[in-house]
Amino acid sequence: MLGALSMVAAAGLVAHAAAANAETTLQRIQRTGEVRIGYANETPFAYTTPDGTVTGESPEIAKKVFAKLGVKKVDAVLTEWGSLIPGLRAGRFDVIAAGMYITPERCKQVAFANPQYQIQDTLLTLKGNPKSLKSYADVGKNPDSKLAVMAGSVELGYARDSGVKDGQLLQVPDTTAQLQAVRAGRADAAAGTALTMKGLASKAGPTVEAIPKFTDDPKHTGYGALAFRPDDTDLRDAVNQQLKVWLGTPDHLKTVAPFGFDKSNLTDKTAAALCAG
């Protein structure tokens, strides 16, 4: 019996030692010099160019920040927006670099870095905005109107909170599908960040527009950030240290300028405050 107890105790010590010696994600990526980011195609936050390059505000920030941590190779994993958090938690990638908004609900599932930008929403409609939709509430007040939103996006919640019924919502996987829905008449409008909707309109030609005056609750201002697994707080903290000294510098502003970001998008909000609601 004593022999058996000794074996159990020894096994426990081995397991404890193994756990103590297990690499954190930060230690692994610094040792290997490689990190995997997860993204969903949403211009200008993160997207794939025709030649296969992954770019956008969030991947470019990730490249700069991880280089400062000694990580030179950034591999990118494309997924649908609604699969970003499940993919992160399942270990498909180490970081979400997709311009994801910090929300109290998401904070229960991931560890956010401090936000790298602030931005508000608008609607994409056919040219002339035929149904005069200038807010989420306008959609809710018109039961015949349809709104295209990305599945899993905060805009889905914003619309519901403003009185838009589920029967009026067309949930789609990405911004390309939003644009297609509006152009085909399956949706009267698509909701997303002002930069995203303006970008879609500029590429889609004269048939659609991002409405210039969108009325929204100031509480719906989005704060985008990199996101990590809940156990990877050391990685999150290391990234935050780099962001603190880099965001707002000429190099940062030059990095994000090609994607439509400037000083007006800077914020002093913290992830902790935004997670608290």
What is the reported pLDDT for 4?
46
* Average pLDDT estimate for 108-132: 97
Displacement of CA 62 from its chain's centroid (Å): 12
Average pLDDT of the segment spanning 20-43: 92
Q: State mean pLDDT over 32-45.
A: 96
Indicate whether 146 pLDDT > 80.
Answer: yes
Confidence of residue 277 (pLDDT cuts 50, 70, 90): confident
Extents of the domains making up the chain: 26-118+222-276, 121-220
Does residue 134 register a pLDDT over 80? yes
Q: Are the folds of 26-118+222-276 and 121-220 the same?
A: yes
pLDDT given for residue 219 in this prediction: 86
Q: Is domain 121-220 annotated with CATH 3.40.190.10?
A: yes
Buried b (16+ CB within 10 A) or exposed e, 30-51: beeeebbbbbbbbbbbbbbeee
Phi, then psi, of 212 in degrees rounded to 5? -75, -30
- For residue 122, is pLDDT > 70? yes
The CATH number of domain 26-118+222-276 is 3.40.190.10: yes
Whether pLDDT at 8 is above 60 = no
pLDDT level of residue 15 (50, 70, 90 thresholds)? very low
- Average pLDDT of the chain? 92
pLDDT at position 138: 98
Among 20-24, 68-72, 256-260, the least confident range: 20-24
Give the C-alpha separation, 17 to 152, whole Å.
Answer: 40
Residue 150 identity:
M
User: What pLDDT was estimated at residue 197?
Assistant: 95
Cβ(100)–Cβ(108) under 8 Å? no
**pLDDT tens digits, one per residue of 201-242:** 998 989 999 999 999 998 899 999 999 999 999 999 999 999
pLDDT score for 235: 98
Q: What is the pLDDT of residue 266?
A: 97
Provide, rounded to the nearest whole percent, the portion of the chain with pLDDT above 90: 88
Average pLDDT over every residue of 154-179: 96
Chain centroid, CA 34 distance in Å: 21
Would you place residue 21 in the very low, low, confident or very high pLDDT band (cuts 50, 70, 90)? low
